[in-house]
Amino acid sequence: MTGAHRITIAGEDLQLLPQKALWWPARRSLLISDTHFGKTATFRQHGIPVSDHTLEEDLARLSDAVHSTTADRLVILGDLLHARRGRSPETLARVTHWREEHSSLHVELIRGNHDRSAGPPLDDWRIAILSDAHREGPFAFCHAPGEVEGAYVLCGHLHPKAIVNLGAGTLSKLPCLWIRPRWAVLPAFGSFIDSAPVAPEADDRVLAIADGQAHDVTPFLAVRRGRRFTSAASKAAGTGRPGTTA
Amino acid sequence: MFDSPEMQSVAPLLNVQKRWSRIPAVNELLIERWRSREGHHLFVYPFAGRLVHEGLAALWAYRLSRRIPNTFSMSVNDYGVELLSAHDAALDSDLPDLLLGTRDLAADLAASLNNVEMARRQFREVARIAGLVFEGYGGQRKTAKQLQASSGLLYDVFSNYDPANLLLVQARREVLERQLESSRLKRTLENLAAANVAIQHLARPAPLAFPLLVDRLRDRLSSETLSQRIERMTAQLEKEAGQV
């Protein structure tokens, strides 16, 4: 796939796509998390004028990921819908329309915390609800990170972003896949979403997405020290001078 | 000149500045260049005050970034400006015209504003007053979970999809008016253009440069794509790994 980064997790070959999705070729499955459809509508309901452009773009990007992989199945690891007040007719119609364009795709959902209050997906969307910690191969599909006995967890919920030290005193915040010993956290798929910086530990790997490409940025991560960031490399060398907050 | 206690206490520093670099004369514009592990440093000392320097830093980074794909971060104080770049920004001989030319100034200023964080920061104020974001009273839950969006996120969404949004326009205008003081900036550039430019290449940061180096508030601007930057750094690491 163009711009994808291959990685092996729990013995399975996976690819992080620049569309912010994880592709599992052996099962012809795309995994995404935290779409938060209806978030812009929720804001409008509360009097904050934000348009649905991000929703349109998100759905277009999802189509792009489906087409470029020719996936048979899409698994959503939670927070499909943002809130009950975001179930506007326009939001629901857009998603229905998208579903009709990909009618042969199997779509499955692990419910997230937002889904519980937002209500179920529409019947027309034909989304199968999986039970939490659904097992498949070496993996368990969850919404939030946590250990599952005997499985490697693929999850979301954190909306992870990597703070990357790009030299010349610059720091960049990039959506990322955060790979830890017992679980990996997918980036938030939706674009009208704030992300939280990852706090990587020694054996973690971080793949970040920038300009339509996925990169392994593990060597370039800036580590948060109090309110400031230092580059992990200079911290290890003990000679680094503090960087700046982005 | 060194008879007051203040001047006596600063004399050693000025001495170091003189030995390691130069003390600019009244009609001189001092520019210092230094190469470090972090990149290529360019220090310029207009002594025009912090606000004007913010505008100058953004303008200069923008003009320099048009020459080759490059990445800049900026630092300012009341004495001068530092531009830190990944690649060498320009030849000594090109600098005076690049930095001090007033041709296309208005257009360059407007363009430089689109690339730096000033409008984004100003938007935070505008968004707060417009009621788009709520920072919370002490001790209370900040806001309904459903409505959490940082001003930065709103700024990005408006910039991408609603560029004529009045709040955005207001933020940009406020930056231009308040922080850049554009007529003062133009006058400063005109004064600088009349000065003798002295360019010093430093072996180490001199006293005038040092506060800029350690300044916390840095802005950034890049004409390289993020992917290009990451690829460059990866290549560098691989090269170093191959040499070890």
pTM (two decimals)? 0.76
Q: Check if the interface score ipTM surpasses 0.85.
A: no
Nearest CA to A242 among B39, B213, B209, B85?
B213
Ordered DSSP codes for B19-82: HHS-PPPTTEEEEEEEEETTEEEEEEE----HHHHHHHHHHHHHHHHTTSS-EEEEEE-SS-EE
Q: Cα–chain-centroid distance for residue B157? A: 24
pLDDT per position in chain A (246 positions), as tens? 889 999 999 999 999 999 999 999 999 999 999 999 999 999 999 888 899 999 999 999 999 999 999 999 999 999 999 999 999 999 999 999 999 999 999 999 999 999 999 999 999 999 999 999 999 999 999 999 999 999 999 999 999 999 998 777 778 899 999 999 999 999 999 999 999 988 888 899 999 999 899 999 998 888 655 444 555 444 444 333 333 333
Burial of B208 (0-12, 13-18, 19+ CB in 10 A): buried
Interface residue of A61, A165, A166 to substitute, partner B, most B CBs within 10 Å = A166
Cβ of A4 under 8 Å from any chain B Cβ? no
Q: For an interface test with B, which of A54, A163, A170, A225 has the most B Cβ atoms less than 10 Å from its Cβ?
A: A170
Partners of A241 on chain B (C-beta within 8 Å) are 214
Return the number of CB contacts < 8 Å for A and B: 103
Contact yes or no for A65/A71 (Cβ under 8 A): yes
d(CA A33, CA A67) in angstroms, rounded, equals 18
Give Cα A232 distance to the centre of its chain: 24
The structural domains of chain A, ordered by start, are 5-237 (3.60.21)
Please give the structure tokens belonging to residue B122: 């100003």
CB A32 within 8 A of CB A73: no
The model's confidence at residue B243, banded by pLDDT at 50, 70 and 90, is low
Please tell me if residue A88 touches chain B, with a CB cutoff of 8 Å.
no
Hey, which residues does B16 pair with through a beta bridge?
Answer: none
Rounded to 5°, angle at Cα A157 from B127 and A27: 130
Instruction: Give the minimum alpha-carbon distance from A125 to chain B in angstroms, rounded to a whole number.
Output: 23
